[in-house]
Amino acid sequence: MIDRITELREQALAELRALGRVEEIEPWRIKYLGKKGAVTSILRQLGALPPDERRAVGQVANETKTLLEAQLAQKENELKEAARAQAMERERIDVTLPGRPLALGQVHPTTRVLREILDAFVIMGFQIVEGPEVEWDYYNFEALNIPKDHPARDMWDTFYVSPDGRPGEMLLRTHTSPNQVRVMEKTRPPVRVVVPGKCYRYEAIDPSHESMFYQVEGLAIGTNITFADMKGTLSAFARMLFGGERKVRFRCDYFPFVEPGVDMSIDCYVCKGAGCRLCGNTGWLEIMGAGMVHPKELERVGYDPAVYTGFAFGLGPERIAMLKYGIDDIRLFYSNDLRFLQQFR
């Protein structure tokens, strides 16, 4: 009897090994393990055997059943896996084909850089405010220590506007600095604001000059704000935008509404300070003007210059973008050619 079982087992296993398709599994199962299958019928015959033989044969038969069941499950898995693999192979695609077109939008490169600039200052506790683009001569010049007929007015070529085309007191702001005065008029210290916005200059347009551009103005006023704080804040900003390894240079410069006045540069990332075409052989790239707010300006808005000090700064996002992305023509910004705009996804 045991020999028969052994023979049966070997036969079943050999047949199982030979199976090649999932569909062949079930007939095999019925043949050996089904209700009327060979193994099942042996088990059914056990009752007819003498008790001592029954135990031995029963053990072998049960082991055989268990073995065949396990082998069956394994084989079934193998075949299913192979079938699945085959099916997927039939569905193979060329993954190097291009993505299906999806209309992608993007913000303007100026917006992109503005966001970066503003984020950097917001992190340092500055709040964002805005002001009018059409300004009074008073805010754009006079309140910034630039009276009429002052030679410093030559630093800003100005578009004047009026309802009837005759010259008056209205102009297109030449910088965002009028907002220093507007903000201080409205609030009391401490002040920490940044003011982004469009500015205009009466300027013939060429690769490095635009008649419309953006500026970001900044102002910090408090009881204990020093030149050293200005250096620290603006250096931190420069490193946030241009990378921690950038060197920052501060040099004296003149703006009528600050004293001392500052011009801030970063070391040229192309030549690393050795001098090249980008930096005009100076090794430095100017990125903003700044300075300690002029005492007269503080006085004018009713801040006691003996109590309060502060600094102001102004920078151009287009210039920052040009430096960051290597753009060589400022006219590209506002001519809105998609071939340009879409490079800044």
Partner 1 sequence: MKVSLKWLKDYVDLVAPAQEIARLLTSSGTEVGAIEYVGGRDWSDIYVGQITNLAPHPNADRLQLVTVDYGKKELTVVAGAFNIKVGDRVPLALPGARVIDTHGPEPREVVLKASKLRGVMSEGMLCSARELGISDDHGGILVLDPEARVGAGLGEVLGDIVFDLEVTPNRPDLLSMIGVAREIAALTGQELRVPVVTLEDGPTAVKDLIDIEIADPDLCHRYSATVIEGVRVGPSPGWMQERLIAAGMRPINNIVDVTNYVMLEWGQPLHGFDYDKIGGKKIVVRRAREGEEIETLDGVVRKLTSDMLVIADARHPVAIAGVMGGADSEVSDATTNVLLESANFDRVVNRRASRALRLPSEASRRFEKGLPEELTMPAALRATQLIHQLAGGAVARGVADAYPVKPPPVEIKLTTREVQRLLGVSYSVEEIERILKPLGFVTRAQGGDIDVVVPMHRGDVTLPADLVEEVARTVGYDAIPSTMLDGRLPVPSENLELRWQEVVRDVLVGCGFTEIIAYSLISRERMRKLVPSEEAGEKLLSLADPILTAINTRISVLGQQPLLVVNPLTSDMECLRTTTLVSMLETIGRNLRFMDKDVNLFEICRVYLPRGEDLPEERRIITAGMGQYRSGGEWGEKREVSFFDLKAAAEAILQRMGIATFSFVPVAHPTFHAGRTAAIVFGVDMPRLAREGVRAIAPDKVVGILGEINPDVRASFDLDERVYVLAMDFDSLMQAAVWTREYRPLPKFPPVEQDIAVVSSVDIPAELVKATISRAGGELVKSVDLFDVYQGPGIPEGKRSIAYHIVYQAPDRTLTDEEVSKVQKHIEDVLEKELRATLRR
Look up 270 and say whether it is catalytic. no
Look up 55 and say whether it is catalytic. no
- From the list 50-58, 68-76, 85-93, 244-252, the region that binds partner 1 by CB under 8 A is 244-252
Question: Which of 173, 161, 114 lies closest to 320 in space, CA to CA?
Answer: 114
Q: Token pair of 238, please?
A: 């420069």
- Give the contact letters, 20-59, x = binds to partner 1 (CB under 8 A), - = no: ----------------------------------------
Look up 134 and say whether it is catalytic. no
Query: Which one of Zn ion, partner 1, none interacts with residue 41, CB within 5 to 8 A by kind?
Result: none
Minimum CB separation of residue 273 from Zn ion in Å reads 7
Q: Token pair of 128, please?
A: 């964002």
Count of residues that interact with Zn ion, criterion CB under 5 A: 6
Q: Give yes or no for residue 98 binding partner 1 (CB under 8 A).
A: yes
Alpha helices in 245-331 (DSSP H): 295-300, 317-325
Q: Which amino acid does the sequence have at 260? A: P
Cβ count near 2 (within 10 Å):
13
Look up 156 and say whether it is catalytic. yes
Q: Give yes or no for residue 338 binding partner 1 (CB under 8 A).
A: yes
Q: Which of 13, 33, 46, 129 binds partner 1 (CB under 8 A)?
A: 129
- From the list 15-23, 34-42, 81-89, 203-211, the region that binds partner 1 by CB under 8 A is 203-211
Query: Which one of Zn ion, partner 1, none interacts with residue 270, CB within 5 to 8 A by kind?
Result: Zn ion
Cα–Cα distance measured from residue 211 to residue 326, given in angstroms and rounded to the nearest whole number: 21
Cα–Cα distance measured from residue 21 to residue 87, given in angstroms and rounded to the nearest whole number: 13
For partner 1, give the closer residue by CB, 41 or 106. 106
Query: Which one of partner 1, Zn ion, none interacts with residue 276, CB within 5 to 8 A by kind?
Result: Zn ion
Helix pair angle (51-90, 25-33), 10° resolution: 180
Do 199 and 285 form a contact (C-beta atoms < 8 A)?
A: no
Question: Which of 112, 147, 84, 10 lies closest to 320 in space, CA to CA?
Answer: 112
For partner 1, give the closer residue by CB, 87 or 104. 104
Q: Which of 37, 178, 261, 316 binds partner 1 (CB under 8 A)?
A: 261
Catalytic residue among 9, 201, 294, 319: 201
Q: Give yes or no for residue 249 binding partner 1 (CB under 8 A).
A: yes
Look up 28 and say whether it is catalytic. no
Query: Which one of Zn ion, partner 1, none interacts with residue 279, CB within 5 to 8 A by kind?
Result: Zn ion
For the segment 258-317, give every residue that binds Zn ion (CB under 5 A): 268, 270-271, 276, 278-279
Give burial (CB, 10 Å; 0-12/13-18/19+) of 167: exposed
Question: Which of 310, 296, 313 lies closest to 188 in space, CA to CA?
Answer: 310
**What are 171's strand-pairing partners?**
135, 160
Residue 250 in 3-state DSSP?
strand
Residue 264 in 3-state DSSP?
strand
- Just list the catalytic residues: 156, 175, 201, 215, 258, 312
User: Which residues of this chain interact with Zn ion, rule CB under 5 A?
Assistant: 268, 270-271, 276, 278-279
